[in-house]
Amino acid sequence: MLIGVLGGGQLGRMLALAGIPLGHRFRFLDPDPACPASAVGEVVAGAFDDAAAIDRFCDGLGAATYEFENVPVATVERVAARVRTAPSARSLAVAQDRIAEKEFFRSCGIRVQAFEAVSSEADLAGACGRVGVPAVLKTRRMGYDGKGQCVVRAPGDLARAWREVGGQPSIYEAFVDFDAELSVIAVRGADGDVRTYAPGVNVHRGGILRRTIVPAPGVAPAVVAEAEGAVRRALEALGHVGALAIEFFVTRDGLVANEMAPRVHNSGHWTIDGAVASQFENHVRAVAGEPLACADARGFSAMVNIIGAMPDRPAMLAVPGARLHDYGKSPRPGRKLAHVNVCAREARVRDAELAVVEALVERAGG
């Protein structure tokens, strides 16, 4: 089947790398003809709101999906009018708006922190009075990897925070004092079958994911079960088809949902080497309307992102259990260039190799 993907970044590239062995072919819509996915499929070069490019992208597709969360909802609707498209435009619309997302979580019985919508500096002062400090002010839309957000420690920070989000419609949310960050990814097939990946503990720096560890160290089985239950409820409520990721804060009182992504997720990259079938393969299967494969983890895994600068390549490739996934991008500060998966049958072997990999990444300044 020819599968169309809106977005040609590393997620699109990895979807194709998982789908080609199943006999599928891929086409991407991306403004950059040399995007990372150009190595693994045809690229229709065009803006995400270019109607002529969208129509060319749709010609002859068997199914379509998106790998980029900031694709306009109208674009997904236009594609869905011509080609079977998953996940739906509705899943995307909920995930694109932080307020809609938090209200959606609540409607599924998933706990969220106190928050308020803010659309003026006066609203911000009111929200601060009710929600309190510390808090985080984030733009409602188009935020990713910690961009478009600002921590408010005292009411005196409000004017600066409002400037930092560019005076855009925002969410003012209570700062969560968390023990860990946990994410869970599940894939729902067109037939309603759901496969859940083992949740991982994530470490962020500067708002960007640095590392994921699976199985989640130090997280009680009941908390893992709570995360798995939450993602299942969200999948069902949306009638979602494809991968869905939810990021949580682990607190003393249980899980607090931070955000969701209606797509394959960076915290699930370990599944390429550490699960029977990866998140990418199961997403492709769901989009193609085919049965899902087993999502069980194989042993102990870790994923380390390589950001901004590539580490010593021969040294990295010399670590026996480390698998390098290079996205073929030119280095730029803050840019995700690659990731390394370290998988082993024993946690202590995984941890020893992870230490070597992290030292190499650290040395490169990534």
Binding site for ligand AMP (CB under 6 A): 113, 136, 143, 146, 173, 175-176, 181, 204, 207, 258-259
CB-count burial class (<10 Å; 0-12, 13-18, 19+) for 206: exposed
Q: Shortest gap between Cβ of 255 and ligand AMP (angstroms)?
A: 13
Q: Shortest gap between Cβ of 121 and ligand AMP (angstroms)?
A: 20
Determine if the peptide bond prior to 311 is cis (ω within 30°). Answer: no
Give the integer Cα–Cα distance in Å for 187 and 204. 24
Q: Shortest gap between Cβ of 107 and ligand AMP (angstroms)?
A: 19
Pick between residue 179 and residue 296 the one whose CB is nearest to ligand AMP.
179
Pick between residue 44 and residue 171 the one whose CB is nearest to ligand AMP.
171
Q: Shortest gap between Cβ of 176 and ligand AMP (angstroms)?
A: 4
Pick between residue 212 and residue 301 the one whose CB is nearest to ligand AMP.
212
Output the CA torsion sign for 24, 41, 303, 343: positive
Q: Shortest gap between Cβ of 259 and ligand AMP (angstroms)?
A: 5
3-class SS of residue 91: helix
Inter-residue contact 286 to 23 (CB < 8 Å): no
Inter-residue contact 191 to 137 (CB < 8 Å): no
**Tokens describing residue 335:** 């840019």
Pick between residue 156 and residue 206 the one whose CB is nearest to ligand AMP.
206
Pick between residue 205 and residue 345 the one whose CB is nearest to ligand AMP.
205
Smallest CA-to-CA distance from 26 within 78, 66, 69, 82 is with: 66
Q: Shortest gap between Cβ of 276 and ligand AMP (angstroms)?
A: 28
Give the integer Cα–Cα distance in Å for 114 and 102. 10
**Tokens describing residue 83:** 């080609």
Pick between residue 93 and residue 114 the one whose CB is nearest to ligand AMP.
114
